Structure 1
Amino acid sequence: MEKVVIVGGGPAGRVFVHGLHSSNKKFDVTLIKDEPINVNRCAVPYGIEDSKPVEKYCIPNSLVTDFGAKLVIDTADYIDTNNQTVKTLNSGSFKYDYLLLATGSKPIIPNIEGVNLKNIISVRSKSDMEMLRLYSKECKKCVVIGGGYIGVEVAVILKKLGLDVTIVEMLPHILLSTIDDDFVNEIESHVKENGINLMTNSKAVRFEGDKKVEKVVFEDGTKVDTDFVVVSIGVTPNTELAEKSGIVVSRYGIVTNEYLQTNVENIYSAGDCAEKKSFITKKPTRGEFGTNAVFMGKVVTKNIIGKKTVFPGVINANASTAFSYSFGSAGLIYKIAKSEGIDVVVGESEVMDMYPMMDGVKSIKTKLVFNKDNGKLIGGAVLRHGHCTAGNVDFISFGIQMGATVDDLLNYQYTTHPELAAKPSDNTYMFAARDALKKM
């Protein structure tokens, strides 16, 4: 029986375990991870409010052990690629015929004075969530460093719990890596209206305090009082094990081929730690989303059981919320497409989410990005009231994956209902495609 070792307990590793378990082939599977219990990382902001026990936000180890894998709680320290062995700090060595590196990512911590003071928290682990729960009860003021999805989500939850919250962002706006500026302007206004302080174009250079942070000091000399700090400026691929074992890495992660195999035979990589290529440009790109890890884990499974499968690249479908708004994007938003040198046309629409005579009707704003040369959909973004944007983003992502064109979106068949959708003539994607066609 072939031996398979997985290093990492995130979604890529778990999906891989499930795929091997359901295949017709039999494997001896061992999963090594260094966290006794993994938290659902995307859910950490929502676990700050303590109406549910912490365990509700954690991933049970039975999702590994119930599917035939042996679980080892330890740190993988070195891979002997010649002898196909993974060495751990405390549990000995494990032989493999196939190895999956799914070591995930780690939070980026700014290298500034005072960063080691005890009330500075990341948003990553079970212990982070527990500390955030504690501080949200004991404290009145918080500074969130980083205005991406996680930073904004944490800020919104803390504000809802009654804290005075300030978001600090180095860039001119929050959320700039995923949403175009006009949508961001509207989201920022909404966030401010709900009482969150925004400091954009601002860089923290020092944390001041005796044992714990009391002030955040900025580049221009401004000081902001705080009871604790949340650092959420992004993550970096966890490639240390691969690097020290002679496996090729780049700044984007562990380098793989189209089958997600590394430069070492029988060693694969998936998830946050692995370099990804864009579905559209085929260039290396970032994409630290749990769904990408799942897709990659499935591809590795197929390749190991003998169904040779190419990973097509990431579309990076994403969504988030801020108070009563939800928003998201897939593929290349306009400014990213332009930075890649692609000649694009953007179609825009604004339709109602229900028939106009219905109570509570709100708008849906959609932007679709088409390659001007061939009319293909390569990106899009959505902003709307309510928490329904994920379905809109999924549609855009699927359209990109299927190679949909302007004509396809002008002529696709859709549903309507007074309470559930726009009136029959007013489909948001069709209107955006029609706008793009005029500009073409």
Structure 2
Amino acid sequence: MISLIGFLTIITIVTLLITKKVNPIVGLVIIPLAGALLLGTGIDDLATYFNDGIDSVMSVVIMFIFAILFFGIMQDAGLFDPIINKMVEISRGNVVAVAVSTIIIAIVAGLDGSGASTFLITIPALLPLYKRLNMSPYLLMLLVVLSIGVMNLLPWAGPIGRAASVLNMDPVALWQPLIPLQLIEIVLLLFIGVFFGIREKRRIAKIYGFPSVQAEAAATVEGAVEENVDKDELKRPKLLWLNIILTLAVIGTLMSGALPSGFVFMIGLAIALPVNYRHVDKQLERIKAHAPNALMMAGIILAAGSFLGILEGTGMLDEMAASLIYILPGAILPYLHLIIGFFGVPFDLILSTDAYYFALVPIVEQIVTNYGVPSTTIIYALVVGNIIGTMVSPFAPALWLGLGLAKLEMGGHLRYSFFWVWGFSILLLIVAWVMGIISL
């Protein structure tokens, strides 16, 4: 009975999230509550489960709020603008250089862990250049999507935060073993940029003849970006190096693990605000501007904490795992995390990020740990296999923003990008296995 209600709870949440019938916060709170009440759970027990669940994710919530605010301030101050402008200038007229520069710009823009801001920075800046050089805008989307996937491994990005909440871990502690893999991913991405650049150059040559250097077009794009930067009163170009030092100090402290991640971002924000905006009113204005993103992510994580607390407290998670062990062939259960990881990108087509990490991942982790596989190894396989495909999911709102900015269709994006994204995801699983991050 317990496992049946558990499966009905999971299926209901996943279905409602997939069909966009409810907000994630509503689904993650109401459906598990209804399941617990069907099991006859008392008010006192519900309060205990809720408190346990919230306690398990509170550190993640604190980190998300202050990380989003900190990087939002850095973007307002123009920390990333010089790099982006320079890459646009360097890449003008060279198709291969444009492809590689797209990846570099997207990686820099993705330092805040937000797919939406990455699209907002890269697509408007580079789309005119792609069009003038007869480069496919779908290639622009593919390169940005791959870059977002790599940067989603950052602990203040959504997937790692969600995975950490499942394990009741600090996101930075979960991320630290992934740092070498993330650096290798960036290098591989640059090679992929060269590959796609050469491929695109041949396609253009075949259709249009060899393109001439579009220096004038690139200069126009660059000038438009610079003009926009100059007009924006929020930019602080004179404080660029100070902001760079502050950001590197924050990231370095995070990597060292010397302080809790939430505290690190809290300190960084407390320094960044008065340094860049002296007037208190302006500081409050900047916080209010970025608060909706911070609060939305915090709300989802808190709701997920309530969801996980109820599933664990009522025993639904244990019973579901036991039932699946009974149903599935015993030979595949120790490798279930690898199987799910291998098909992680296709799962993005049928599951939202919330459904994948808060519904599927806990069950797989619960099953495979019974065979002596460490929880972190399980999570790494599930994360690495899935994270690159975040922006091929029709359930990712940021993807629709990117498609709208580039004036592209979802079907065309999936046809152009899906198998390349899935192939890159499988390659990263192999690299992670070779590095010992995941094991067979």
TM-score normalised by L of structure 1: 0.23
Higher helix content, 1 or 2: 2
TM-score normalised by L of structure 2: 0.23
Higher strand content, 1 or 2: 1
